[in-house]
Amino acid sequence: MTSTTIPLPHLIGFTERNGNWHAEDLSLADLAKEFGTPLYVYSKRALTEAYQAYDRACVDASGKRRARIHFAMKANSNLAIIDCFKQLGAGFDLVSGGELSRALAIGADPSSLVFAGVGKSADEIAQALKAGVKCINVESIAELHKINQVATRLQCRAPISLRVNPDVDAQTHPYISTGLKDNKFGIAYHEVLKTYREAALLSQIDIVGIDCHIGSQITTTAPYLDAVDKVLDLVAQLKKEGIEIHHLDLGGGLGISYGEESPPDITEFTNTLLNRVAERGFGHLDIVLEPGRSLVGNAGVLLTHVEYLKPGAEKNFCIVDAAMTELMRPALYEAYHAIVPVQSKPVKSVTYDVVGPVCESGDWLGRGRSLAVEEGDLLAILSAGAYGFVMASNYNTRPKPAEIMVDGKNVYLIRQRETVADLFANESTLPKQTHSPLG
């Protein structure tokens, strides 16, 4: 299937005007000229509008807040982006000590931080407890006991929530499905009550919540409602046993349109979930939502220059200066991203595989794309704001790209482009030997 049969995603902040693509009020061609390529470009307007779409459903008609948004930082952890969300009122979902440090670096309130992740180290647990996070989401009985041990050593209380694996099919790519019984995440549904009972007996543990996250890039509401109902059944049973749950963490994972997908409207989706919680009689709980991709995915593009057009016997290749090192998703998931020329030209369209310079056959960014381009032209890879830069690597000793944020007519450099010297600044060669090591 070629790109001519797949519609472009609906974008806020990125538009084509008279054959030229813009980020808000600035030309992408001008931005590439100023900052070079490969280049990540984000729209502040797109970030803001996506957040507000969630927030509209989080406040009821009387003005009472019925849910809080915690941005899942793993989707994009640039300081400028998480600071933008902090200014809008977001808390954060963290999955590493490094992400905790990033949140604290922008002045996030520790009580707005939820620390998740399946393999937290003792040092990371201690870091979270010392910071005073809202909650640590527990993913195994072994982790529960480690948290209690660390809290005992630190002489503090550990607020915890158990992450429930509800065995619900999120109908998404198997690599990003997290709520099935054969996934590594969470505590098996039939083990949850027993684990809460065990947690209640531990000396330094405070049970504060229950958590559920079933996957990413989910484009229907039904799996969420199935998971919500199963988790609320547990909350009701726990109450009967005298274990009070104070907050319900519904996770994130709502998908975006990369082209063909039709995910539910963010506000309608959020209202549907929150209404289900209220209808079940649990509207008094503190509700936490943890969107990631749906806040940032369509708020970013990756700009890349065409280096060579290489015709082949069976395929034509458009070789660009971006690669799997800048955008891993196509190589990792066979993910689709729309690719468009930044400036339209009256040249013949040809079907190309868009590939990078990395020495791997898996280094491709788009297959079978109909593009009217010439060598030296600029392409925009759309919907690259989530799981783009955060998954970048230095493979083949390639410096990571710059990142910029556009706000109307203003542009801000929010990450300097790496240099090759940066890549080996912390390396060293072995000492010179004056004689043979064998004597």
Residue with tokens 């991203």: 337
Contact 92, 113 (CB under 8 A): yes
Contact 68, 286 (CB under 8 A): yes
Q: What are the structure tokens assigned to 216, written together?
A: 């990413």
Three-class DSSP category at 438: coil
Give the CA diameter of the chain. Answer: 84
Question: Which residue is catalytic, options 58, 84, 135, 359?
Answer: 359
Q: What is the 3-state secondary structure (H, E, C) of 180-223?
A: CCCCCCCEEHHHHHHHHHHHHHCCCEEEEEEEECCECCECCCHH
DSSP H or E run through 306: strand 300-310
**Residue 379 CB neighbour total at 10 angstroms:** 29
Question: Who's near 407: CB < 8 A, 6+ residues apart?
Answer: 24, 44, 45
Residues forming the annotated binding site for substrate? 293, 329, 333, 360, 387
Please calculate the CA angle 180-184-186 and round it to the nearest 5 degrees.
75
Active site residue 359: yes
Residues forming the annotated binding site? 253, 290-293, 329, 333, 360, 387
Contact 38, 32 (CB under 8 A): no
Please identify every residue annotated as catalytic: 359
